[in-house]
Structures are given as C-alpha cells and as structure tokens.
Structure 1
Amino acid sequence: MSVIQAQTDEPIPLWAYAWSTQPQPGDTARPQIPPSRDLRPGDDPDEIYEMWTVEGSSATYSRMDTRDGGNVIDWFPGDHPPMTDLMRHGPESLRGVVGNRGCASCHLPNGKGRPENAPPAGQPVEYTIQQLKDMRDGLRYSADPRKPNSPTMNLLAAAMSDEEMQEAAEYFAAIPWTRWMYVIEAELIPEMHLEEGNMYVTVGTEATEPLAGRIVETPVDEHQANYLRNPRSPWNVYVPVGSLAKGEELVVNGGEGKTIQCGICHGADLMGLGAVPGIAGRSPSYMMRQLYDMKKGTRNGTGVALMKPVITNLNVEDMTNIVAYLASIVPPPAPNDVQ
C-alpha cells in the first residue's frame, strides 16, 4: 500500500464530525427533527413559552420561537442585511413541507454558522453558488454517513432555484467575517459532553479531560448559544499543544514541500481571493471535515481539483495542525463591529 493510500484510509477524525465511535457498514444519518411549533415529548409548556431577552437586543423570544427553524428569529437585525423570506423561511418550493427551514436557522442570521455546519458569511458569491450547485448535484456529501445535517442541506440545495442561490450567496457575502472564537492550546480541558453528531458542550469547570489530539469547539455560554441561539455568543476552541506552530509552518511555508502555501490561492491574509473562499478565523471542525472529505472523495466539484495537490501528502495530524492555526488567525475588525 502506498503512503498516499495509507493516509487516505486513516480513520475519520471523530472530533470534527462530533462522534465518539467510527461509522459502521450500513450506517446512515438519522433524520433531523423538523422545525415546527408543536410541543415535543418532555416539554414544559410554561418553560417553552417563557419570553427571553439577550444583552444588546430589544427583541424578546420564547424557546418555542428560537427552535422554530421555519420562521427564524433575529436578535440583532443591525448585524446583517435585512433577512429575506429565503433566510427566514427557506426555499419557496418547500414552504409548507415538513423539514423545510430558513437558511439562517443553521447558519445564523449573521452567517457565522456553528461547528456542525458551514460559516458562509464573507464568502465570495461565486463560491457559495458553486457549493450549492455541487450539493444539488450530489457532488458534496459527508465522509461520515451518520452526519445528520448533510442530507438536509443537500435536500434544501436541490429545492433552491438559481435565483435563490444567487440571493443567498449575495446575502452572506455582504456580511464581513469577524472574530468568532478564542483558540487555546491545551493538554487538559474541562469535562465535555458530546452531543453525538452535533457539538461538544462544556460541563466541567476544572481542566481534567485529556484533549488527546482532538480539536474541541464548545460554546463559551451554552445557554446563550444553544438555548437562545444568540448569534453573538462566542466559542472556545481547544487545540493540541504545539499545533499552532506546526500548522503555521504548513500554511505559510508549505512544510518543506509537503503541501502548497495556502496564501497562494486564498490570499495573503487568507481571507479569500476572487472566487476562492476565506479560511482565516473559521471553524476548525468545518475546515477539517472539508479537507478529510476531499481526501476520501466525498467532496467533489469545481475547486476540489485545485485542492488535490494541497492535501495529497497530508495526514490527519497535519490537517489538524493546519485548521488549528487557521482558526487562531484573528480576522480584521469590520467597521462598526459590535461583536
């Protein structure tokens, strides 16, 4: 077996896909809970309709409102362009269909996204349109077949018209990418609870859990980020000790010929160049999934051919170091940035 083949066959980096075990033959994604305003088993009606506020916002929403992905809430309308019906309610062809949801439901009204999905804010219009077309055409799917939101996204992309793809791409491109996370090198981290297929949530207060080569993204305030869906609530990112220096060497210098300098295509500041996406200061879980999916052949389409020489000689540890360093880059502040 060649070195390249051996690297391609490395097990899935479970932390990036938010699973604790490797997928097994026949595994598939469990359907996501469709957005609705119905009470779910275990709901307390008094609690679910209690009204909440968040600091800096004049809006009030209930828990029922925050989880209604078919009518997306907006804590901070001034942080982004006006939300369109596509952002708030989803593709027109799926309105009234079970499972439809607005783009801003998962990616948030400010386009920052979360570890389990993409952060499209600030990405070039051409790039976002191409990704939606690739999803529509079956060229992008997850290397881990259990990932629940991958088929959801492909379904939504397939339902979008060309005009809606353009609308979504222009909306997100108009939002500058700004700092969203705080990267910390660590050997031990607070105890985490893994929501399988979703994200890590901090449950401990003392650093007792070995990081063990993973990268762990977790909300600074789980109540704000998950319960209230506050799009300004930031994230802590724990990365292995030494990964930032190793990643910088690969990103900036190519690791003595092991890969190609990222800035050649992604721009000197790694904030994107032309139709090539920005990669600075973005979710390492998302970026790791893209690199691994490309190596496994589950992400294809325009642009992937350009990435093949970049990833050919990289192993999982290399890619972990790369995305750790990229996540640590602080993007330039946007005018009037309140986050």
Structure 2
Amino acid sequence: MKPNHHATTPRVDDIDPTFEPWEPSRPIPIFLLAVLIALALGGVGMYLSDLAPWADAGASDPVASIPAAPVTQAAPASPDSSTVQNAPVLVHAGRGSVWSCASCHGDQGQGAGSTPRLAGLDETYLAKQLRDFAAETRLNESMHYVARELTDQDIAEVAAYYASLPVPRLVLPQSDADLDRGRMLFEKGDWKRNVPACVSCHGDQGQGVGTSFPPLAAQRPEYLFNQLAAWKGGHRHNSPQSLMDDIASRLSYRDLYAVSNYAASLPGPGADAAH
C-alpha cells in the first residue's frame, strides 16, 4: 500500500502568510546618514580652504602677515567741463563688449582701492601701459581683455584724456604702516641692501619724471603695494631695464607696505591733499 503524501504535504492554505524567504531591506539609520553628510561637508570645506592661500595668515606666508591696506577716499576733483564733455566714448560709455574705463577707474580717473588713479599721469606712460596690457608684457586679465580691443587711435585718445585731468585730492585715514621707514626708503633708500631712494627716479616729491617713471604721490597705496609685490614675486616685468624687479626683490613685504603708504600720503602735482 502506497503512503498517502497528501496527508503530510502542507497545502498552500497552510503556509504562514507572514513568512518572507528573502531578507527584507532595512532603511539606513538617520544618525548614520547625518554622519556621512557631515563628513562630506567637512571634506568640501577643507578643499575650499586649500584654494584660498591667504586665508591662513601663517608665519610661512610673508604677505599674509602684512596688515590690509587702509581704505582710501578721494575728494571730488573738478575737471574742466570742456575736458569732460570731450572725453572719448570709451571713457564713460565703453564700446560693444568692452566696458567703460570709468566703471573701474572712476568718473574722474581717481581710481579706488587697488585700481590705480589715472588722472594726471603722463600721456606717453599711459599709452605704453595699455600696449603692454594688450601684448601681455604686463599681466592683468581684465586690462588685457579691454586693451586688446583698442586701436592705436583709441589708446592715444584715452591716454591724452586722462593726462589732462587734475590730480584728485586723496584723503588717507590713519595707517598702521611704518611711515618713518617708508620715508627713509623714499628719500634715502637703503644702501645696505643696494636699494636706491625712490626720489632718484620718481622725483623729490614723487611727482614722476619723464615718460618712464610715473608719479607715486597721491597714487592709491593698495595699488602701489600690489605692484611692488608683483615685481618682487616675479609677476611684473615691464619696468625700464628691469629696475623695479631688482629693487623690489631686495626689500621685505613690510618695507614695500611702508613705502607704498608713505608715497601715497604725499600730495600729487597740483593736488591740495588732506591727511
């Protein structure tokens, strides 16, 4: 007699409906998710901080320990109305994709912060700088973008216009620069380091000499410091006979900061500066 299998085999109706043959998925705990997100954000923060070399004012960075240059304000100048009326279109309106000169250098060429004063600079000097920017023998991405679009006539007109403007009065707040050291470097130099006085090339009052040595007086201190630092760091190379490259390389960043602020404190030619 054959065994009755139907008596021992469970029917479908007898299977436990709660039985699950596969391991059910379990949600990741919220705490673990929070830890993973925090680690990811921390890694991004560390990466971004590495992209900002001046964020950590460590002793190994010679520039980071230099105090920020003081904010300066320029008292309004009073250019002749006919001069303003005859300004080239590029100065106040720009052309095509090229923005106006005034959008960065001010409506009277007074500059701001690290953007230099153009008013009262030598016409030939200004034209040379524009050509150097265009040719990238002087490096500045924004100025290269503008200057490469200028014709020879544009350069001549813009340079002549800014040279004709009066030097604005520059009002400097209290500075933490060592102005005594700055004055010594400006007037006498530092012959222990083979550094000549600024006055030997730029004039006894920093008024500028000829077409190669621009005025330092009443120029933006932030701009002066940035350019000296660029020469020292090997990022600017268009001074006559590489004079400024050599001089700046022999001075510390604190000296560069001191002489920049002292030179800026001098009244420019024709300017009634208040300090």
Q: TM-score range by the shorter chain?
A: 0.5 to 0.7
Looking at CA atoms only, which structure, 1 or 2, has the larger radius of gyration? 2
- Contact 1:135–1:158, Cα closer than 8 Å, also in 2: yes
- Contact 2:207–2:215, Cα closer than 8 Å, also in 1: yes
Alignment partner of 1:264 is 2:268: no
RMSD of Structure 2 on Structure 1 (CA): 2.8
SS for the counterpart of 2:238 is coil
Q: 1:314 to 1:334 in 2, by over 3 A?
A: closer
Instruction: Output the CA distance in 1 between the equivalents of 2:185 and 2:226.
Output: 18
Q: Which amino acid aligns with 2:164?
A: A
Q: Residue 121 of structure 2: which of 113, 116, 123 is its match?
A: 123
| Corresponding position of 1:281 | 218
Alignment partner of 1:139 is 2:192: no
Instruction: Output the CA distance in 2 between the equivalents of 1:324 and 1:14.
Output: 12
- Structure-2-length-normalised TM-score: 0.66
Instruction: Output the CA distance in 1 between the equivalents of 2:153 and 2:161.
Output: 12
- Structure-1-length-normalised TM-score: 0.54
Instruction: Output the CA distance in 2 between the equivalents of 1:173 and 1:249.
Output: 30
Q: 1:167 to 1:151 in 2, by over 3 A?
A: same
SS for the counterpart of 2:168 is coil
- Contact 1:134–1:300, Cα closer than 8 Å, also in 2: no
- CA drift of 1:122 comes to 1.0
Superposed CA deviations along residues 143-190 of structure 1, whole A, max 9, x for unmatched, are xxxxxxx42221001111111111111111111223222241xxxxxx
Alignment partner of 1:301 is 2:238: yes
| Corresponding position of 1:178 | 168
Q: Which amino acid aligns with 1:139?
A: T
| Corresponding position of 1:6 | none
More strand by share: 1
More helix by share: 2
Q: Which amino acid aligns with 2:135?
A: D
| Corresponding position of 1:50 | none
- Contact 1:130–1:302, Cα closer than 8 Å, also in 2: no
- Contact 1:183–1:328, Cα closer than 8 Å, also in 2: no
Q: Which amino acid aligns with 1:151?
A: E
Superposed CA deviations along residues 182-226 of structure 1, whole A, max 9, x for unmatched, are 241xxxxxxxxxxxxxxxxxxxxxxxxxxxxxxxxxxxxxxxxxx
| Corresponding position of 2:158 | 168
Q: Residue 180 of structure 2: which of 232, 245, 266 is its match?
A: 245
Instruction: Output the CA distance in 2 between the equivalents of 1:89 and 1:250.
Output: 41
Instruction: Output the CA distance in 2 between the equivalents of 1:14 and 1:293.
Output: 17
| Corresponding position of 2:227 | 290
Q: Which amino acid aligns with 2:118?
A: P
Superposed CA deviations along residues 5-30 of structure 1, whole A, max 9, x for unmatched, are xxxx83465836x9xxxxxxxxxxxx
SS for the counterpart of 2:148 is helix
| Corresponding position of 1:96 | 96
Q: 1:319 to 1:162 in 2, by over 3 A?
A: same
| Corresponding position of 1:87 | 91
- Contact 2:105–2:117, Cα closer than 8 Å, also in 1: yes
Listed as ranges, the gaps of 5+ residues in structure 1 are 1-8, 19-55, 57-74, 142-149, 185-238
Superposed CA deviations along residues 249-304 of structure 1, whole A, max 9, x for unmatched, are 11101034432111111112211111120001211100011001111121122437
Superposed CA deviations along residues 286-334 of structure 1, whole A, max 9, x for unmatched, are 0011001111121122437121332121010000110111111123545
Instruction: Output the CA distance in 2 between the equivalents of 1:270 and 1:114.
Output: 20
- Contact 1:107–1:113, Cα closer than 8 Å, also in 2: yes
SS for the counterpart of 1:249 is helix
Listed as ranges, the gaps of 5+ residues in structure 2 are 1-60
Q: Which shifted more, 252-261 or 284-293?
A: 252-261
Q: Which amino acid aligns with 1:10?
A: P
Q: 1:132 to 1:281 in 2, by over 3 A?
A: same
Instruction: Output the CA distance in 2 between the equivalents of 1:240 and 1:261.
Output: 22
Q: Which amino acid aligns with 1:252?
A: E
SS for the counterpart of 1:164 is helix
| Corresponding position of 1:327 | 264
SS for the counterpart of 2:172 is strand
State percent identity of aligned pairs.
28
